[in-house]
Amino acid sequence: MRKMGSVKEIVADYVVVGAGSAGCVIAKRLCEIPGASVVLLEAGGTHHPWYIRMPSAFYMPMHKKRFNWGYSSEPEPGLNHRRLACPRGKGLGGSSSINGMVYVRGNPGDFDGWVQMGASGWSYDDVLPYFKKAQTFISEPVNPQYQGESGPLQVSNGQMNNPLYQTFLEAAQQAGYPLRTDLNGAEQEGFGPLPMTVAGGQRASVARCYLQPRPQNLTILSHFSAHKLKIENKVVKGLSGIRNDKPLYVKANTQLIVACGAIGSPALLQLSGIGNPEHLQSIGIPVQSELPGVGENLMDHLEVYVQQSCTRPVSLYKKLSPLGKARIGAQWLTTQSGLGATNHFEAGGFIRSDATKPYPDIQFHFLPAAMNYDGTSQASGEGFQAHVGPMLSSSRGHVRIRTSNPTHQPEIKFNYMSSDEDWRVFRQAIRATRDIFAQPAFDDYRGPELAPGDSATSDKALDAFIRAHAESAYHPSGTCRMGTDKLAVVDPQARVHGVENLRVVDASIFPRITNGNLNAPTIMVAEKVADQIKSEVGTS
């Protein structure tokens, strides 16, 4: 470290901004380049308390500013002008340290669709090796054609000890859907175990899986607030920011990789003068590179909870009382086992909203309890639920900084439910869930419907329920879209158009949102781009 006037300066070959699901992965892989020095910058801290490591406590860090950026959307016209929460991970591991740990790769058709949108080299055949490279599947049986056996990211199936899991799968089969042993395998359509990033009873975040032990040539700087990229003649030289209340400049001799996520990455580019010139000029930011697509194409998944009361005391209701939680926590703290060692989303599935769809566009997460995802409310008795919603919405929003002040939260508008097709698919998702819960397998458990409620049968009633109760599944993506057209931000090698020595690597570069949870495809993207960078310097 040296001083540049009154500003301290750090120099490295590769600088990675953001230690989340992509940043930790790409930093680890770049450390494999012989002789390379890598700096990984993170706005949060590096310490993971017990409630981050304990899988069933995943809702707790979302309520803490220490671990969550705490974003929220603008009032959404399609959802009664509600502001929806948009939590993003803050701290080593990013959102992989606060997410629900569901491991879903997406449908092969998602990635073949990316190619059609200009992301050449990103077909399913191209990306499958990187899903496998990242993964070690630690449950049995292992199918080496689709599952990895030696990667850093540990993935397992739940024990399914609660009888409601098997009941749900049996009911899905009775409703006419196929059962699958691997929803990330040859066929996604159907129902089966939902794998989770849990190993040894603990959360398998990218911080744990990729940075333990820490590579010797990696420097991690926590509590760094990124302010602005330094750009000279269309070449990125480094990044200025604040660390521990003191200015710090980080110089990138070879390349700088932005991995701040679907909200943070476009915001940092815009703060640096990369984006829509009209927007930048309107807030007094000098234009360095005209890229009108920066911050556009924002996508997400919405879901509702279809909740059913349960007539037998087999759900998690009593176990989630204060005394029950204390018992779960005590067992987990001493043995890393029991109900504390699962995310509880152990079964789920994918279906098509109608036969004309080329592949599934609705996802289910089954939970043997009736409660909110964030733990803020719980039904007053025994119950179970399915989280369900459309996966491939055509609604698009944006992320735009409001001012040149990097500490101000950007404007986030998803434009949820802005197409008629979204409403049709969402209604079908609810009705398909009801059909599954009505099957004979649930006869011994099914009580009255809690939500939407037995009286909500018409399209109008379901639409009202969706407007009032739909929540984000916390999957923002697409705001630095990969492609070659005028609204694309990065090329198929994740290099920012028109600016040298700069890449964006995270879910923001997805051309279109994938079918399912986003942590696995984000890690895959980082693995693949890391190989591209290594090939450029002659390292395999």
Closest Cα to residue 14, out of 170, 238, 208? 238
Residue 398 clears pLDDT 60, i.e. is over it: yes
Task: Report, as residue numbers or ranges, the catalytic residues.
Answer: 475
Counting residues of the chain whose pLDDT is more than 70, the rounded percentage is 98
DSSP 59: T
> Which SS3 state, helix, strand or coil, does residue 267 take?
helix
Closest Cα to residue 104, out of 199, 182, 19? 182
Residue found under tokens 């799968």: 169
Contact present, 262 and 22 (Cβ < 8 Å) = no
How far apart (Å, rounded) are the C-alpha atoms in residues 452 and 430?
Answer: 9
How far apart (Å, rounded) are the C-alpha atoms in residues 156 and 135?
Answer: 10
- Band of pLDDT at residue 4, cut at 50, 70 and 90: low
Q: What is the pLDDT of residues 499-515, one digit of tens each?
A: 999 999 999 999 999 99
**pLDDT of the residue at 533:** 98
Return phi, psi of residue 113, to 5°. Answer: -65, -35
Contact present, 175 and 436 (Cβ < 8 Å) = yes
Burial code (b: 16+ CB inside 10 Å, e: under 16) for 430-465 equals: bebbbebbbbebbeebbeebbbbeeebeeeeebbeb
Angle between helices 459-469 and 420-437 (to 10 degrees): 100
Mean pLDDT, residues 108-119 taken together: 98
Residue 113 clears pLDDT 90, i.e. is over it: yes
pLDDT averaged over every residue in the chain: 96
Distances (CA, A) of 251 to 8, 38, 479: 11, 11, 26
Which residues have CB under 8 Å from 138's CB, separation 6+?
A: 154, 155, 156, 199
Say how many residues make up the chain.
540
- Residue 105 token pair: 């790769």
**pLDDT of the residue at 98:** 97
**pLDDT of the residue at 7:** 78
Angle between helices 108-116 and 124-134 (to 10 degrees): 130
Closest Cα to residue 350, out of 174, 107, 100? 107
- Band of pLDDT at residue 486, cut at 50, 70 and 90: very high
Residue 2 clears pLDDT 70, i.e. is over it: no
Mean pLDDT, residues 82-87 taken together: 98
**pLDDT of the residue at 377:** 65
Mean pLDDT, residues 327-337 taken together: 96
Burial class from Cβ neighbours inside 10 Å (0-12, 13-18, 19+) for residue 282 reads exposed
Return phi, psi of residue 323, to 5°. Answer: -70, -40
Q: What is the pLDDT of residues 8-19, one digit of tens each?
A: 999 999 999 999
ω into 521 cis (within 30 of 0): no
Residue 1 clears pLDDT 80, i.e. is over it: no
Q: Can you say how many angstroms the Cα of residue 242 is from the centroid of all Cα atoms in its chain?
A: 27
Q: Which helix (H) or strand (E) holds 124?
A: helix 124-134
Closest Cα to residue 148, out of 198, 184, 115? 184
Residue 414 clears pLDDT 70, i.e. is over it: yes
Residue 440 clears pLDDT 70, i.e. is over it: yes
**pLDDT of the residue at 3:** 58
Contact present, 275 and 396 (Cβ < 8 Å) = no
Residue 469 clears pLDDT 60, i.e. is over it: yes
Distances (CA, A) of 206 to 150, 276, 375, 445: 15, 33, 24, 38
Burial class from Cβ neighbours inside 10 Å (0-12, 13-18, 19+) for residue 225 reads middle
**pLDDT of the residue at 24:** 98
DSSP 410: P
Q: What is the pLDDT of residues 342-393, one digit of tens each?
A: 999 999 999 999 999 999 999 999 999 998 877 666 777 999 999 999 999 9
Closest Cα to residue 413, out of 260, 245, 296, 326? 296
